[in-house]
Amino acid sequence: MVEQQNITEDEAALYDRQIRLWGLDAQKRLRASKVLLVGLRGLGAEIAKNIVLAGINSLTMLDHTKVTEEDRCSQFLVSRDDIGKNRAVASQEATQKLNPMVKISVDTDDVAAKPDEFFHGFNVICVTCATHTVLERINKICHDKSIQFFAGDVFGYFGYMFSDLGKHEYAEEVPKPKVKEAEDNENGEPKAKQAKTEVIETVVVKKITEFVCFNDAFHFDWTVEANKRRLKRLPKTYFIMHVLFKFMEKHKRRPNPALKSEDQKELENLKVEVMDSLKVDQEFLSDYFVSHCFAELGPVSAIVGGVLGQEIIKAVSQKDKPHNNFFFFDGVNGSGLVDQIGA
């Protein structure tokens, strides 16, 4: 639970429009949130922009890698002159300019080497561009300590986000029909003879939803009959992410545009391995994706980063129903779908 802080006059003026949108209490919760963002590639840049503009308390940007030529595709917080510099350090100045009222700090360590205690000082942790081993470890730490956890990545035309908010309370506005009481009209007709009218009013309802860990969603059992029936409507990106995680685990890198031909063949082979390991028929994932998952495209990062930023804001502010628990984007087909897996 985020401890609320008072809003200053300057902050009230700066955040006036969003306070009108989601209320002062929600803005106070945002103002108190301390966020750790791991990974400052294109997706991380989009997330940083969205949550800093919303008015969080502080953002720690952690990344041990360096800016590359490929970052020109989507990383708008760095410039050509930053190539070879640490990504987090290179992104700090532009991020701070977005909102001087947010505390921006950087960490250049490898997140995989961080001790468990490091993560305990944050209300929200968002991990991007990481292996499934790193995601499972950090998510378990967050789940045990009731820290809101998010993850996401973009590979070419494909992207995903995942959230685990534990047992999450939120407020949602829902329509409620109300019968309008009739009154004697100007013709003197009594109320009993008049037709009753129904009006819709909005009421705020408090709700609770529960999330599962990344491990439970990633290692979901598709051999159970009830789960098999879901396969036809399951977003293909779920399986594509499995293949890409397998690729990164095996080669310690992401698919490389400079090695596109050989990496495509490797992705085709890994697809067969992944589908067999999941005990899912090969027909559920064709090879269409292997030529479309290279580099990090700006428009895809903007879409996935927009959803991730929105979900972080909703989770912290406890305003509106959160996505539980995946969002998948397939830029080849132009589809974005929310799905709950592992529950």
For the chain, domain boundaries:
9-166+297-339, 169-207, 220-291
DSSP, collapsed to helix, strand or coil, labels residue 96 as: helix
Residue-level pLDDT at 194: 56
CATH of domain 9-166+297-339: 3.40.50.720
Residue 333, token pair as written in the block: 């087909």
Question: Residue 5 burial by CB count (10 A; 0-12/13-18/19+): exposed, middle or buried?
Answer: middle
CA–CA separation, 289 and 268 (whole Å): 9
CA–CA separation, 63 and 41 (whole Å): 9
Question: Which H or E run includes 330?
Answer: strand 326-330
CA–CA separation, 251 and 60 (whole Å): 29
Alpha helices in 129-286 (DSSP H): 132-145, 214-218, 225-228, 237-251, 260-277
CA–CA separation, 221 and 206 (whole Å): 32
Residues 6 or more apart in contact with residue 298 via CB below 8 angstroms: 42, 73, 74, 76
Residue with tokens 């350090």: 89
pTM for the model stands at: 0.88
Question: Which H or E run includes 178?
Answer: strand 167-180
Residue-level pLDDT at 183: 60
Q: Which residues on adjacent β-strands are paired with residue 58?
A: 34, 103
The rounded average pLDDT for each run of 10 residues, N- to C-terminus, in the chain (343 residues) is: 64 75 82 96 97 95 95 91 96 96 97 97 97 96 96 97 95 75 58 63 87 93 91 94 97 95 97 96 94 94 96 93 95 95 84
Query: Are residues 311 and 305 in contact, defined by beta-carbon separation less than 8 angstroms?
Result: no
Residue-level pLDDT at 191: 59
Q: Which residues on adjacent β-strands are paired with residue 151?
A: 127, 162
